Chains A and B, each alone.
Chain A
Amino acid sequence: MMTPSDGPLLVVDDLHTVFHTPRGEVRAVDGVSFQVAAGETLGLVGESGSGKSVLGRTVMGLIATGPATTVSGQVLLDGRDVHALKPGQRRQLWGPEIGMVFQDPMTSLNPVKRVGTHLTETLRRHLHCSRKEATERAVDLLNQVGIPEPVRRLTQYPHELSGGMRQRVVIATALACDPRLLIADEPTTALDVTVQKQILDLLASLVSERTMAMILISHDLGAVAGRTDRVQVMYAGRTVEAGPTRTVFDSPDHPYTDALLASIPQLSDQPHTVLRTIEGNPPDMTRPPRGCRFGPRCGRADDTCTDLMPALVAVPDGPARQVACHHPLLSIESLEPNAPLTEAGHGR
């Protein structure tokens, strides 16, 4: 899982997704950058409304741009600019290059289509194989995602399967054409807790078998913790912290990451312990704070935070650690990088 090969597969550079609503501009994704190498798994975490799902869809090029929605910045898949491709060319990517697993398996399969059709139509669309070949491959795929009696399942309708089974079908459709990048958008949010772990483990093993790259989008830090190489924490459309998952979770630099981690209930807690929460609400995205987006909810915020947007910069708190904060929780306090931050903060 930890073997990034030559050059990143996906490069996302200063990506913005802006919705022009009657109430004003909503910068759902506001200058996000990251890279994912083949075989690597990146976790995108943040609470609801932090822009993670929009980010996933923008990376894929699924967001329909027009007068109401604009996208800027670059998404390079293997050097190709996804947003510069014509719609027809982009559709060629969806399936064989990028696959997507959606949040709710109850709604992401067509209720009037057989399970098998979801798979075979995708296979035939991209691999141009015969009906018979497609069916054989579909059976094979259902086997791989751990669905018993795959031949019988092909002729069943989605409603005849349980939620966990349906999500396995969704995963099978996403993997049908052997994509090199899998974007899993909250793949376990709609599932029972017992099924969640199975699905996450399945995803992890499929990804490592195929040395695929995966972006795992989740609000569940537990889901991301053991199964991603790197993690990127999102808040109000911006990256607040990024780095290797283990070190970020062990010693978070951003107060928001710290607060998120602190709000996970621990099994070792005494019964009836009051659950810790983050005070306040995420900002109104039509009127985000001028300075740090997290400022109004942050215990460490001062006037600098109110006035200046902190930029995402490297911190010496560990290899490949980045944080966007004027007052990060650095373990090496002497190296507090205040000066370069204010300078870089004028950008956007």
Chain B
Amino acid sequence: MARRILLPVLELAAVLLLVSLGVFLLLSLVPGDPAIAVLGEGRTPQEYDALREQLGLNDPLLVRYGDWLGGVLHGDFGTSLVPPQTSVLDRILSALPVSAQLAAMGLVMALLIAIPLAMWSAYHEGGRADRSISAATFGLLSMPSFLVGLLLIAVLVNTLDLFPRNEWVRLGDGIGGNLQHAFLPALTIALMEAAMFTRILRNDLVTTLHEDFILAARARGMSPLRIMVSDALRPSSFSLVTVLGLSIGRLVGSTVIVEYLFALPGMGKLVIDAANQGNYPMVQGAVLVIAVIYVGSNALIDRSYGLLDPRTRRARA
């Protein structure tokens, strides 16, 4: 029992340590001087040097990493170098809910689109519906997300005037306004993800539908819909669930384009802005949080295979 809990936690810690070290080293290679980022151009070398000393930038790399890691373990992610010079953690905690909500809504919508489409497609394997859906998803996958977003804005906001164009409303400030704002960016994400999900699930469903137990279920008089939902879906969802796990991590950290397009204060925007400004404590903190979510969601997905397939469950002691 202890092994089953302890081992994954240790694994998780090791992965996070490596990720944070990697980010730290990479950032130290990035050209540009944080001191200039903070003070701006045109100061005396002494001023820059004093600040570097104050920030600990003159220490050896590993010492700096140790200092940063020590702070993180105490809940101190440091302070933003760029004004407003507030706590990194506060900034992350204000951006994270936006990204998390976007990712969650996007994924739920994507699944709502993808599962019925994949079923329809697989049921009519090789038929006209299957080929149309395949072409549509392929087209969507080959479109960049900003194009999808722009098209949605052009049609749904500018032409049909279905959605508001003012600032982001936080979830705490009224759920109606929030959902209204979140819907379009979430739909942009959902369409891209749904295209991938549909293709993956459709292929696995087609394979499953050729299995003997599907024929056996038909021979017991089960309806096609029931067979699809109750017999075929679960054994076909392994690839989908795996990709879903990767999507969670990816969407929380890298929906930058969608965030910019819809002016959303999310994690992607936070990281990119910070990176452009040489605001390294911010980048480090944000990347660490994203990594935690990435690794955590995949660890959860790993656990979930047992729910999908009883054969992978370990014997209960």
> A-side interface residues toward B, CB under 8 Å?
60, 62, 91-96, 99-100, 102-104, 107-113, 121-122, 125-126, 157, 159, 170, 173-174, 176-177
Contact = CB atoms under 8 A, between A and B. Distances in A.
25 contacts: A62-B218, A62-B219, A91-B218, A91-B223, A94-B219, A94-B221, A96-B221, A100-B216, A102-B212, A102-B216, A103-B212, A104-B212, A108-B212, A109-B213, A110-B231, A111-B309, A112-B309, A113-B231, A121-B222, A122-B220, A122-B222, A157-B310, A159-B310, A170-B216, A176-B220
Decide if the interface of chain B is mainly helix, strand, loop or mixed. helix
Contacts of A176: 220
Nearest to A123: B220
A256 to B, nearest CB: 29
Contact of B215 (A95, A96, A102, A126): A102
B230 interface: yes
Contacts of B230: 113, 121
B211 A107 contact: yes
Contacts of B216: 100, 102, 108-109, 170, 173
Given A157-B310, A159-B311, A110 B213 contact: yes
Nearest to B222: A125
B165 interface: no
Nearest to A88: B223
Contacts of A177: 221
Given A110-B235, A125-B222, A177-B221, 8 more contacts: A60-B219, A91-B221, A94-B221, A95-B221, A99-B220, A100-B219, A107-B211, A110-B231
Interface residues of B, number: 20
Given A111-B311, A112-B234, A157-B310, A94 B218 contact: yes
Interface in B201-254: 211-213, 215-223, 230-231, 234-235
Nearest to B231: A110
A107 B218 contact: no
A85 B275 CA distance: 68
B276 to A, nearest CB: 49
Nearest to A87: B224
Nearest to A68: B126
B179 interface: no
Q: Which 4 A-B pairs have the closest CB atoms?
A: A94-B221, A95-B221, A107-B212, A100-B219
A102 B218 CA distance: 12
B215 A62 contact: yes
A159 B212 CA distance: 15
A66 to B, nearest CB: 9
B311 to A, nearest CB: 5
B309 to A, nearest CB: 6
A187 to B, nearest CB: 12
A184 to B, nearest CB: 12
Contacts of B218: 62, 91, 94
A157 B223 CA distance: 23
B238 to A, nearest CB: 11
Most buried by A among B212, B220, B222, B230: B220
A107 B310 contact: no
Interface in B111-125: none
Contact of A125 (B215, B221, B308): B221
Contact of B221 (A126, A157, A170): A126
Contacts of B235: 110-112
Interface string B93-109: 00000000000000000
B231 to A, nearest CB: 5
